[in-house]
Amino acid sequence: MISTSFSACGQDLTCADFKEGEFLIPADSLNPESYKISRKNGKQIEIDENGDEIKIDIKYQDDCNYILTYQESQNLDNLARYINKSGGIHIKVLEIKGDTLSYSGLIENDTLSYEMPGKLIKLD
């Protein structure tokens, strides 16, 4: 009875809760700066610490697996073009704890397989 009452007080987030809203990718050993993320209708806007925006399309395979590709209408750097030519970044959700989603991102083509872990923190 106590555990039922306790679990009813907390809100467990699911993969679907990370499909739209405001988020933060915190700086870590792979990314020296944090990014604010805004997601809506299969689109993502990343804003870096300088206020620069990167626009990304999200193709959901299911709530917990999706592919990120950079929108071609913007001035893409060589890395972004390479990622798009490789089929995008394949994101797989590994775990959700509290307001934080842990994921693995995979960039893969004929000559490269690069996996990068990351975190996405729900702000709203």
- Please count the residues of the chain: 124
Question: How high is the pLDDT of residue 12?
Answer: 87
In this structure, of 58-62, 111-115, 117-121, the range with the lowest mean pLDDT score is: 111-115
pTM assigned to the model: 0.86
Q: What is the pLDDT of residue 99?
A: 96
One-letter amino acid identity for 34? S
CB atoms within 10 A of CB 120: 21
Residue boundaries of the structural domains of the chain:
14-122
| Run of H or E residues at 20 | none
Residue 6 pLDDT: 37
Which tokens is 74 given?
């913007």
What is the rounded average pLDDT for all residues in the chain?
90
d(CA 124, CA 54): 21
pLDDT of residue 66: 98
Q: Tell me: pLDDT of 4 over 50.
A: no
How far is Cα 88 from Cα 69, in angstroms, rounded to an integer?
5
Q: What are phi and psi of 111, to 5 degrees?
A: -115, -5
CB atoms within 10 A of CB 15: 16
Topology of domain 14-122, CATH: Lipocalin (2.40.128)
Q: Are 103 and 1 in contact (CB under 8 A)?
A: no
pLDDT at 30 over 70: yes
